[in-house]
């Protein structure tokens, strides 16, 4: 295995790519009782259209999430129960671009790792079990769709993007999941749950070579083809400037979103993530001039906040909370961006935010889960997540202001509101 020591972080990462294409990353944590395994595939809610065997397949929205639910089924029973019997705490999640299965345990780690690798790589479900799951997931979807936070975010994404599959709900709809069959699940597993499209990350007091030996002995020898995906050709313009809906809420809610220029995979992806997060802090953070001004005017309350997000071919910044005058908030945001573009970001203020953001990234290394997710996302997008210190030390206030000037404009913005019912 190849060891990389990150002096700035005081961490080592052992990496090896198996002949079948699986990337294995091991972060040793000597002396820790708990060990953590994270097995992820580059397949998520966005991957509804892809080419397999020379043919383009259009799959139902929500199928990646549906497949995640069904993957715990085995011929012997249920892998979740089997892992729990061994003292492990297992779980899984599906995001827009990744599905991951993971557990942590203080004992029987090797046995639990074998179970994890086995049930994720060998699917087992029947038409009857797939049909039974539809009712369960449909109930989950209905509950989520009644949530104002979900509605306001989903409607914002559909206003920002015209064709990108990132505008699709990860869980799909009640109607879309009715189209899912055992065969479509097997097709998607065959396409995306191949070693060459996956990564295994282990964090804990483990022997890296032994982890590789376990994976080599269980997983298929063949890696699988490279899958061509179609995320949609997205124009720079937003799909709609505003959207609103009435729901059972006590106070009007809003999200204002801005369609940003995406970055290609590689080091540019990591850099944009750092710059975008810092720009969000500069503009919207609770110590920013804009936040204090909005709060003093009574336009926002403690619910106000923002974030910068990235997906394949997508990047967007958004802010929101409770407000009785969302239009005034959006106008103030634009005025502040214009001021920052004109006057620049105060250097002392930027330095404070820079130190705080870097410190937060360092503290993330205390979480085994955060380490595994960061390394996996970095691998899928072609960058080394542990090189974030080198990026931080070169990001400037001018670069952050330039990001805001180019991306946070009226033409790139949308306003999503949830209003109390009359």
Residue 402's pLDDT band (cuts 50, 70, 90) = very high
pLDDT of residue 126: 85
pLDDT at 75 exceeding the cut of 90 = no
pLDDT of residue 395: 97
Bridge partners (DSSP) of residue 267 are: none
Average pLDDT over every residue of 191-195: 96
Q: Tens of pLDDT along 19-30?
A: 999 999 999 999
Share of the chain above pLDDT 70, in %: 100
Rg of the chain over all Cα atoms, to the nearest angstrom: 23
pLDDT at 419 exceeding the cut of 90 = yes
pLDDT of residue 129: 87
Average pLDDT over every residue of 8-15: 96
Check 68, 309, 336, 377 and give the catalytic one. Answer: 68
Q: Tens of pLDDT along 28-39?
A: 999 999 999 999
- Closest listed residue to residue 290, CA positions, set 300, 302, 278: 300
Q: Tens of pLDDT along 240-265?
A: 999 999 999 999 999 999 999 999 99
CA atoms of 45 and 217, how far apart (whole Å)? 30
Average pLDDT over every residue of 332-357: 96
Residue 125's pLDDT band (cuts 50, 70, 90) = confident
Contacts of 129 (CB under 8 A, 6+ apart): 70, 73, 182
Q: What is the CATH number of domain 242-420?
A: 3.30.830.10
Per-domain boundaries in the chain:
2-229, 242-420
CA atoms of 413 and 156, how far apart (whole Å)? 10
Count Cβ atoms within 10 A of the Cβ of residue 411 and give its class: 0-12 exposed, 13-18 middle, 19 or more buried.
exposed
Residue 54's pLDDT band (cuts 50, 70, 90) = confident
Question: What is the DSSP pairing of strand 49-52 with strand 55-58?
Answer: antiparallel
Do the first three CATH levels of 2-229 and 242-420 match, i.e. the same topology? yes
**Residue 68 annotated to the active site:** yes
pLDDT at 422 exceeding the cut of 90 = no
Angstrom distances, CA of residue 322 to CA of 21, 111, 153, 200: 48, 49, 14, 41
pLDDT at 294 exceeding the cut of 90 = yes
The mean of the pLDDT values for the chain is 96
pLDDT of residue 122: 92
Third-level CATH fold of 2-229: Cytochrome Bc1 Complex; Chain A, domain 1 (3.30.830)
């Amino acid at each position: 295995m190849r060891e990389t020591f990150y002096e700035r972080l005081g961490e080592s990462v052992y990496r090896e790519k198996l002949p079948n294409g699986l990337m294995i990353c091991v972060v040793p944590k000597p002396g820790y009782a708990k060990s953590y395994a994270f097995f992820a595939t580059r397949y998520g809610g966005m991957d509804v259209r892809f080419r397999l065997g020379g043919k383009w397949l259009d799959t139902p929205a929500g199928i990646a999430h549906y497949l995640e639910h069904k993957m715990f089924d085995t011929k012997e029973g249920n892998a979740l129960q089997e892992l729990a019997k061994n003292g492990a705490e297992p779980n899984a999640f599906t995001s827009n671009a990744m599905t991951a299965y993971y557990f942590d345990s203080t004992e029987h780690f090797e046995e639990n790792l074998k179970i994890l690798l086995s049930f994720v790589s060998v699917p087992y479900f029947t038409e009857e079990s797939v049909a039974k799951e539809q009712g369960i997931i449909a109930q989950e979807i209905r509950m989520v769709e009644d949530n104002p936070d979900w509605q306001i975010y989903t409607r914002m994404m559909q206003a920002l993007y015209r064709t990108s599959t990132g505008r699709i709900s990860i869980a799909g709809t009640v109607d879309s999941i009715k189209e899912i069959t055992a065969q479509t699940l097997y097709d998607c597993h065959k396409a995306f749950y191949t070693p060459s499209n996956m990564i295994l990350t282990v964090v804990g007091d483990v022997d890296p070579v032994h982890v590789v030996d376990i994976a080599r002995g269980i997983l298929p020898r063949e890696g699988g083809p490279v899958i061509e995906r179609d995320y949609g050709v997205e124009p720079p313009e937003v799909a709609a400037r505003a959207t609103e809906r009435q729901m059972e809420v006590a106070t009007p809610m809003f999200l204002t979103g801005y369609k940003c220029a995406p970055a290609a995979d590689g080091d540019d992806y990591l850099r944009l993530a750092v710059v975008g997060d810092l720009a969000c802090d500069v503009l919207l953070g609770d110590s920013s001039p804009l936040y204090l001004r909005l709060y003093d005017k009574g336009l926002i309350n403690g619910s106000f906040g923002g974030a910068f997000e990235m997906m394949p071919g997508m990047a967007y910044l958004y802010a929101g909370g409770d407000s009785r005058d969302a239009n005034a908030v959006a106008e103030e945001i634009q005025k502040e961006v214009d001021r920052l573009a004109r006057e620049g970001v105060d250097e002392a203020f930027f330095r404070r935010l820079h130190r705080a953001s870097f410190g937060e990234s360092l503290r993330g290394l205390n979480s085994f889960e955060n380490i595994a997710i960061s390394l996996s996302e970095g691998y899928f997008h072609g960058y080394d997540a542990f090189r974030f210190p080198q990026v931080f030390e070169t990001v400037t206030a001018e670069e952050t202001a330039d990001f805001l000037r180019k991306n946070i404009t009226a033409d790139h913005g949308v306003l999503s509101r949830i209003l109390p019912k009359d």
